[in-house]
Amino acid sequence: MVATYYTWYCPPDTAALYVRRAAPLLSSSLAGRQVAVCARTMEAVVLLLCLAALPGALHARLVHEGEDGFSECNDFFYQGSPPQGFSHPANVKVCQRYQGDKHYATLYSTEHRIPVYSAFTYQEDAGGAWGGWMVEPQVDDSKSSLDEVNKGSDVKEQVPGLGANQALEEDYASTDYQPGPLYHRAPPALTSAVPLTPDFKEKWSADVDLLIKEKLLPHCENGENLHLLAGAVPSSTKINDKVAVPEYVWLAACCNIPEAWSLAIVKRIGDVDGLEQITVEELENQLSGDVKLFSNQCGGGAVHPELRSTSEASTQTEEEPPVKSPGAFSRFFQFIFCIIYEIIKSVLCLVWFLFKQVCNLIFGRLYWIWTALTTYVFALGKVLLNIPCDVLCVFANILCGFVRILNNALSVVCLILRLPTRFLCDMASFPYYTVCAIPDVGIDILSGVWGIFMLGFSALFGAFGGSFSVASFASSNVLQRFIGQSVGYEN
For residue 125, what pLDDT is reported?
Answer: 67
Of all residues in the chain, what percent are helix, strand and coil, respectively (each to 5)? Answer: 55, 15, 25
295 by Cβ neighbours in 10 Å (0-12 / 13-18 / 19+) ranks as middle
Residues 44 and 85 in one domain: no
**Cβ-based burial of 61 (10 A; exposed 0-12, middle 13-18, buried ≥19):** buried
Does residue 74 sit in the same domain as residue 40? no
CA distance linking residue 83 with residue 66, whole number of Å: 16
pLDDT score recorded for residue 304: 76
Residues 47 and 93 in one domain: no
| Among 295, 317, 339, residue at a domain's last position | 317
How far apart CA 222 and CA 416 sit, in angstroms, is 107
pLDDT at 244 > cutoff 60: yes
Most confident of the following: 159-163, 261-265, 360-364, 482-486: 261-265
Residue 50 has pLDDT above 80, yes or no: no
For the entire predicted model, the pTM comes to 0.52
Co-location of 10 and 65 in the same domain: no
Residue 419 lies in a domain: no
Reported as a pLDDT band with limits 50, 70 and 90, residue 128 is low
pLDDT at residue 46, rounded to an integer: 38
Q: How far is CA 260 from CA 76, 161, 265, 484, in A?
A: 16, 45, 18, 181
CA 193, CA 118: separation in Å to the nearest integer?
Answer: 10
Over residues 77-104, mean pLDDT? 88
Q: What is the pLDDT of residue 348?
A: 94
Any domain includes 456: no
Please say if the pLDDT value at position 56 is more than 70. Answer: no
What is the C-alpha separation between 114 and 293, in angstroms, rounded?
Answer: 18
Instruction: Give percent of the chain above pLDDT 90.
Output: 35
Residue 295 lies in a domain: yes
**Which residue range(s) make up the domain with 127?**
59-317
Which one of 27-41, 289-303, 414-428 scores highest in mean pLDDT? 289-303
Percent of the chain with pLDDT over 70: 76
* Residues 134, 151 contacting (CB under 8 angstroms): yes
Specify the CATH number for the domain of residue 231.
3.40.570.10
Q: Decide which of 488 and 355 is more confident.
A: 355
Whether 68 and 190 share a structural domain: yes
Residue 275 and residue 234 in one domain: yes
Q: Is the pLDDT of residue 340 over 90?
A: yes
Whether residues 71 and 21 fall in one domain: no
Confirm whether 102 is domain-assigned: yes
Residues 210-241 have pLDDT tens digits of 999 998 998 898 888 899 999 999 999 999 99
Q: Is residue 426 one of the residues assigned to a domain?
A: no
241: alpha, beta or left? (left if phi > 0; alpha if psi -120 to 50): left
Whole-angstrom CA distances from 182 to 34, 70, 93, 136, 439 are 55, 19, 16, 17, 126
CA atoms of 297 and 256, how far apart (whole Å): 11
Alpha carbon distance 395, 367 (integer Å) = 42
**Residue 239 CB neighbours (<10 A):** 18
Residue 245, SS3 per DSSP: strand
pLDDT for position 37: 39
Query: Residue 450: which residues within 8 A CB-CB, separation 6 or more?
Result: none
Integer angstrom CA distances of residue 46 from 27, 37, 221, 345, 429: 19, 14, 44, 78, 139
How confident is the prediction for the chain on average, in pLDDT?
79
Half-sphere exposure of 258 (CA within 13 A, CB side): 0
Domain end position, chosen among 293, 317, 341: 317
In a domain, 88, yes or no: yes
Query: Which pLDDT band holds residue 316 (cuts at 50, 70, 90)?
Result: very low
| Nearest alpha carbon to residue 173 among 243, 232, 268 | 243
User: Same domain, yes or no, for 46 and 73?
Assistant: no
Q: What is the DSSP letter of 482?
A: H
Q: Are residues 84 and 129 in the same domain?
A: yes
Per-residue confidence at 314, pLDDT binned at 50, 70, 90? Answer: very low
Establish how many alpha carbons lie within 13 A of residue 65's alpha carbon, considering only the half-sphere containing its beta carbon.
9
Q: What's the confidence (pLDDT) of residue 227? A: 94
**Environment class of residue 42 by beta-carbon count within 10 Å: exposed (0-12), middle (13-18) or buried (19+)?**
middle
Tell me how far apart the alpha carbons of residues 194 and 177 are, in angstroms, rounded to a whole number.
9
Residue 379 domain-assigned? Answer: no
Is residue 440 assigned to a domain?
Answer: no
Largest CA distance in the chain: 214
Q: What's the confidence (pLDDT) of residue 159?
A: 75
User: What are the CA-CA distances from residue 113 to residues 116, 135, 250, 266, 427 (Å)?
Assistant: 9, 12, 17, 21, 119
Which of these three, 278, 294, 317, is where a domain ends? 317
The pLDDT-based confidence of 307 (bands split at 50, 70, 90) is low
30 in the same domain as 149: no
pLDDT at 52 (0 to 100): 37
Q: What confidence score (pLDDT) does residue 303 get?
A: 81
23 with 64, same domain?
A: no
The predicted pLDDT at position 33 comes to 40
Region at 83 (left for phi over 0; alpha for psi -120 to 50; beta for the rest): beta
Crossing angle of helices 33-57 and 12-29, in 10° steps, is 150
Residues 190 and 83 in one domain: yes
Q: How many domains does the chain have?
A: 2
DSSP one-letter string for 15-52: HHHHHHHHHHHHHHH--THHHHHHHHHHHHHHHHHHHH
User: Has residue 465 got a pLDDT over 50?
Assistant: yes
